[in-house]
Structure 1
Amino acid sequence: MMEHKMTTIFAKRLFDGENWLTNQEVTFKGQLIESIVSKADPSTDNTDIVDLLAPGFIDVHVNGGGGALFNHTPTLAALERMVAVHAQFGTVAMMPTLISDDYEIMSQAHQTVCQALKQDMPGILGMHYEGPYLNPIRKGVHNESQLRKPTEGKLAALLDVSRSGKLMVTLAPEQVPEGFIEWLVSEGAIVCIGHSAASYDQARQAVMNGARGFTHLFNAMTPLISREPGVVGAALQTDLPTWCGLIADGHHVHPAAMRVAIAAKGCEHMLLVTDAIQSVGSDEKEMPFLGKRVLRSQGKVTTEDGTLAGSDLDMATAVRNTISFIGRTPAEALQMASLRPAEFLGIDHHFGRIKPGYRASLVALTEDFIVKATWIDGQKVWGQGVV
């Protein structure tokens, strides 16, 4: 059995998920935080000294990174690559996302994630199927040939992820039969609405049936207009608990639209997500993507016809953009990257806060929110410039 050494971090400023503190010493041995103590100075010479310590980021929508796209290579090596690359940007836990694909690829991805969960692979929380039960009218970059109606027999075999980890399914409610959302929820899935041409009433009914997320708000869904509030209108309602994913890269959603959405919904039900593809952590300017060619330029990735193909965003940049573009406070931005996703997934008793008994999955940042070091389950997986 591996012996864990005690790690001590002295944070000049610490955001514990809810409050700002100064001159705090955090200790952990193994996966869990043992103590947080106010100290005038670091205790030992072996202490990591950081400007700002915060709960590590949780990305519930990430397709790839470092040259690996989960659809292309649904393997453990691809998951390890994605975790390692996104850790450089403060991500400590993720929901690897599979874009609409054939049953064989879905099955391979499912087996891989189940294996990763069985092995307790650091950083992997479960799986997110983005499709294939989507509306071709709002397909975005998804291949229309892969969009289809659900076949319960085949799908049932792909839901065991929920037995040992978290499972998200993004679907268009108008494309699935009555009772399907309730069945998915009963099987342990977190159902999200996305790539949908649903009316406001259809989207509201889906929420009443158990859906509780909206995938990349504003993108690939019916907009809010005067006489038909659409999926966006349903997403911004607050009478039922739902969460909205926001891609805060300045390309997917105009900052003014994000400001309006947060004013209506509140930060506490907004999640920062990347929707990142394999370009993040890679130098490639052109790359294959589900049978298409994708071009990377000026912070965005598009097909040759200009369709957005996921994003080139990382979580740390999303946090900075939320502060600079949208005008939210650092506390709100950090919560939208960590505590809010943890609450959405139902893991906020483990993640999203720096408290004794919580996972030692942390990010050290500069005062400008540049990542300097990342710890996942008590292990430093990336770090530079930390004493």
Structure 2
Amino acid sequence: MSDSPDRVITAERVFDGERFLGARAVVLRGGRIADLAEAPPPGLPLLRLPPGAILAPGFVDLQVNGGGGVLLNDDPSPAAIARIAAAHRSGGTTALLPTLISDHRPVIRAAVAAVAEAIAQGVPGILGIHLEGPFLSPRRPGIHDPARLAVFTEGDVALLTGLGDRGVTLVTLAPEVAPPGTVAALVARGARVSAGHTADDGSAFRAALDEGLSGATHLFNAMSQLTAREEGAVGVALGDPRVFAGIIADGHHVGDTALGIARRLLGPDRLMLVTDAMAPVGDPAGNATFTLFGRAITRRGDRLTGPDGTLAGSALTMAGAVRHMASRGGASLAEALTMAALTPARWLGLDDRIGRIAPGFAADLVMLDRDLGVHGTCVRGDVMMRGG
């Protein structure tokens, strides 16, 4: 139970996770949603959102490398995780997976332990961990350090799933570098498995789907493409109904035409907005550069690149992703909001508790203004408004 005060929030437009309901009064008790009423009940503090505002389920981001000036790889600690989550809350994210990109096994072990401790401490919004690598294709490393890529060994299943039932574990790997049975073993221990940083022609991806892999990490980026005679990872992700796919809608990683194609083929029920965010998001110091494995990463506007021009994650927020998907990616606002909350919650198996505004669900909410800027957030009933 939350110790946040009970209250009522009213808005002219309430999006319940799948559709707009019009004006409603959302009653919060004990950190959960108690009711959706036509009018606010008496006796509870009332927060009335301004005309035109939207109340929606808080955003769920599956790929958050850093924020607030820190990266999980540099500081795998509960304090850093709390700082990252706080930084992303200003962008509407109320639940996330701190993401460790390819690193050595002791760092993986430390990151898993830090996430477990953060969850035990009750750090708001931490669902588990996303381990992106190190079992990736050296032909498609992206910004990952090739020296930190690894060959899968017998003990790595236990290493990657060390969080156990304390939270969700998402593992991104290249299917072609995983020995047969690896995906099945990870899934058997409760992990969600996603294909990413892969040069596969499509055959290993399909074999991994048969073992229980169900995702594609940052669709179109750092993966083999669909061609006239080879489906590649992109073709499998777009064509196989078993695949949920994350996508970075920032105007840099994926062109608007490709965003629209992905939306049409996967639909809002299988396409998920992610940020792949790095340290600059919410950095109070406003640093324009940071270091990733000894390489200088430069921010120009909202674009992050390494010395050779390789994209290095993003400076995107989930609210920014929603705006771009709805204005440039061919999605309706309802579809974009679904891609940012309910769909990732559903893929993680958490759509019975987050991703909707419905009685019994966590009071994780985002309040958006007319321009889809974040007016405020609510995490387990704790309200934080813009500027305070």
Q: Report deviation, 1:46.
A: 3.5
- Within 5 Å, which residues of 2 pair with 1:1-387? 3-39=3-39, 46-50=45-49, 51-239=53-241, 241-282=242-283, 283-380=286-383, 382-384=384-386
The count of residues paired between Structure 1 and Structure 2 equals 383
Amino acid at match of 2:59: F
d(CA) in 2 for partners of 1:279, 1:35: 38
d(CA) in 2 for partners of 1:219, 1:135: 13
Q: Report deviation, 1:142.
A: 0.5
Q: Note closer, same or farther for the CA distance 1:297–1:2 as it changes in structure 2 (3 Å cut).
A: closer
SS in structure 1 at match of 2:122: coil
Q: Note closer, same or farther for the CA distance 1:19–1:154 as it changes in structure 2 (3 Å cut).
A: closer
Q: Where does structure 2 lack aligned partners over 5 or more consecutive residues?
A: none
Amino acid at match of 1:48: L
Q: For residues 175-216 of structure 1, what are the alpha-carbon distances to aligned partners after superposition, in whole Å with 9 as ceiling and x for unaligned?
A: 111111111111111010000011122211111111100000
Instruction: Judge conservation of contact 2:10–2:48 (CA < 8 Å) in 1.
Output: yes
d(CA) in 1 for partners of 2:226, 2:343: 24
d(CA) in 1 for partners of 2:377, 2:98: 19
Amino acid at match of 1:362: L
SS in structure 2 at match of 1:268: coil
Q: For residues 290-333 of structure 1, what are the alpha-carbon distances to aligned partners after superposition, in whole Å with 9 as ceiling and x for unaligned?
A: 22100000211001110111111000000000011112111000
d(CA) in 2 for partners of 1:74, 1:309: 19
Q: Report deviation, 1:29.
A: 2.0
d(CA) in 2 for partners of 1:207, 1:310: 26
199-208 vs 156-165, greater mean Cα deviation: 156-165
d(CA) in 1 for partners of 2:3, 2:226: 55
Q: Report deviation, 1:265.
A: 1.9
Instruction: Judge conservation of contact 2:14–2:56 (CA < 8 Å) in 1.
Output: yes
Amino acid at match of 2:45: N
Instruction: Judge conservation of contact 2:354–2:364 (CA < 8 Å) in 1.
Output: yes
SS in structure 2 at match of 1:92: strand
Q: Aligned Cα RMSD in Å?
A: 1.7
d(CA) in 2 for partners of 1:125, 1:357: 18
Instruction: Judge conservation of contact 2:127–2:168 (CA < 8 Å) in 1.
Output: yes
d(CA) in 2 for partners of 1:14, 1:43: 20
Amino acid at match of 1:298: G
Amino acid at match of 2:6: M
SS in structure 2 at match of 1:82: helix
Q: Report deviation, 1:159.
A: 1.3
Q: Report deviation, 1:379.
A: 0.9
Misfit runs of 4+, over 3 Å: 1-4, 41-46
SS in structure 1 at match of 2:135: coil
Instruction: Judge conservation of contact 1:223–1:231 (CA < 8 Å) in 2.
Output: yes
SS in structure 1 at match of 2:87: helix
Instruction: Judge conservation of contact 1:75–1:112 (CA < 8 Å) in 2.
Output: yes
Amino acid at match of 2:88: H
Q: Where does structure 1 lack aligned partners over 5 or more consecutive residues?
A: none
Amino acid at match of 2:70: A
SS in structure 1 at match of 2:75: coil
d(CA) in 1 for partners of 2:136, 2:2: 45
Q: Note closer, same or farther for the CA distance 1:307–1:137 as it changes in structure 2 (3 Å cut).
A: same
Instruction: Judge conservation of contact 1:138–1:197 (CA < 8 Å) in 2.
Output: yes
SS in structure 2 at match of 1:373: strand
Q: Report deviation, 1:267.
A: 2.1
d(CA) in 1 for partners of 2:56, 2:169: 26
Amino acid at match of 1:9: I
